[in-house]
Amino acid sequence: MAIGEQFAGLDMEQLIGGPLSAAANASTLLANSTADFIRKVGFDSKGKLQTAAFGYQKRSTNDDGTINLDEMKVMVPMLAIVPIPNLQIDEVNILFDMEVKQSEKSERSKDISGSMSGTANFGIVKVSISGSVSAHEAHTRSSDNSAKYHVDVRATNHGTPEGLARVLDMMAANVAPSLVGSTIKDANGQSLPEAARARAEKLKMLRQEISQIENRLSAAQNTLDDKIAQLKRAAGSQQNVYNVSITTAMNKLDRDSEEDAKKAEGYNSAAKIVMQRWNDVQSQAADVIKTIADNTAEGTEPSSEVSEMFALLSWKESGAEPYSSDETQYKAISGAQVSAVKAQKNVVRLEEELFKKREEYHNAVAGTR
């Protein structure tokens, strides 16, 4: 059989495609296994997130020397505290070797058994003749076939899937310990007398109120920052409109014309003044908003007109003009200004409230009230 015929009966498609198809099916099974684990461990029968409760005692020392013993509890999602099986097939290697060896040897020889001899005389010469014939025939064929078929599959645990990790991060950002109970002790951990306990309870209540005001103030400050950023973005958009208008007007001019050269000089001069005013908005917006808020009477709505305190100008071909309500971003700037002023007044109100509450607390600690 020819060597090429040795490979004719091999199903190469099955040899190569079979392991790959099996690996693909295995990947599906592994993915389903991860999904089943998340469903069973992460959620209850009603589809609600399963959590584990952890309790601990928080100890803190107060300004008056007493000690708070707070019983805290935190609820942690089960998926955040158990390893999630996430096996994935990383690599599939298929190795197929086939070696064919074939050899053939043929030998032939003949021996004719027989002999003959004779003599002859040719004058003074005497000739002797003898001979033999033999024949032998042999034929040898040998072949050696060997094959190696090796499939190497490697799988590793890829840990928590990225999408689930992001969800868990969002959950963790909203997980906060809750206060279950609290007791106040003296510096030695002993119970306080009635009068001392009442005073300590009052101080504790004031501390909690201060903490609540601080949280509200922090949120209000973040809101103010967002409103000022919104105002700056609107101002930047208006500035871009002027940049486009200036570029368009300049491109229409004839550089070789003396009259147009003067126009270009006027355009540039006006543009420099206008742009400086709008650049000032980016650097001074917070200070201007605070000034507007300070000058807005308590209980009244902030003006819906863009404040003259910004000293804004609009660019026209005729030159710089006062910023007016017919400009493209006027309403956006005006709305952002009103929102920012309201946010600023809220921050000021909370700062005053916090100052008074801290003053009350310090007086209580000192025993003056």
For 188-208, how does the pLDDT look when each residue is reduced to its tens digit (9 = 90+)? 878 888 888 888 888 888 988
Quick one: which of 360, 368, 362 has its CA closest to 64? 362
Same-domain status, 297 and 361: yes
Same-domain status, 8 and 153: yes
Q: What is the mean pLDDT of the chain?
A: 83
Same-domain status, 175 and 96: yes
Same-domain status, 174 and 203: no
The answer to the question of residue 113 being in a domain is: no
The answer to the question of residue 118 being in a domain is: no
Same-domain status, 251 and 172: no
Same-domain status, 174 and 244: no
Same-domain status, 12 and 93: yes
pLDDT tens per residue, range 114-123: 555 555 554 4
The answer to the question of residue 133 being in a domain is: no
Same-domain status, 155 and 206: no
Same-domain status, 252 and 317: yes
Same-domain status, 242 and 179: no
Question: pLDDT by residue for the chain (369 residues), tens digit each?
Answer: 555 565 566 676 777 788 888 888 888 988 898 889 888 988 988 888 898 999 988 888 877 778 888 888 998 888 888 888 888 888 888 887 766 565 555 555 445 455 555 555 544 445 455 555 555 555 555 556 666 778 888 888 888 888 888 888 888 887 888 888 888 888 787 888 888 888 888 888 898 899 999 999 999 999 999 999 999 999 999 999 999 999 999 999 998 899 999 999 999 999 999 999 999 999 999 999 999 999 999 888 999 999 999 999 999 999 999 999 999 999 999 999 999 999 999 999 999 999 999 999 988 888 765
The answer to the question of residue 134 being in a domain is: no
Same-domain status, 85 and 154: yes
Chosen domain end from 183, 208, 238: 183
Domain span at residue 51 reads 3-103+147-183
CB 47 within 8 A of CB 1: no
Annotate the chain with three-state secondary structure. CCHHHHHCCCCHHHHHHHHHHHHHHHHHHHHHHHHHHHHHHHECCCCCECEEEEEEEEEEECCCCCEEEEEEEEEEEHHHCCCCCCEEEEEEEEEEEEEEEEEEEEEEEEECCCCEEEEEEECCEEEEEEECCEEEEEEEEEEEEEEEEEEEEEEEECCCCHHHHHHHHHHHHCCCCEEEEEEEECCCCCECCHHHHHHHHHHHHHHHHHHHHHHHHHHHHHHHHHHHHHHHHHHHHHHHHHHHHHHHHHHCCCCCCHHHHHHHHHHHHHHHHHHHHHHHHHHHHHHHHHHHHHCCCCCCCCCCCCCHHHCCEEEECCEEEECCCCCCCHHHHHHHHHHHHHHHHHHHHHHHHHHHHHHHHHHHHHCCC
Amino acid sitting at position 367? G
The answer to the question of residue 298 being in a domain is: yes
Chosen domain end from 183, 204, 235: 183
Global pTM value? 0.58
Question: What is the number of structural domains in the chain?
Answer: 2
Chosen domain end from 156, 183, 210: 183
Same-domain status, 161 and 249: no
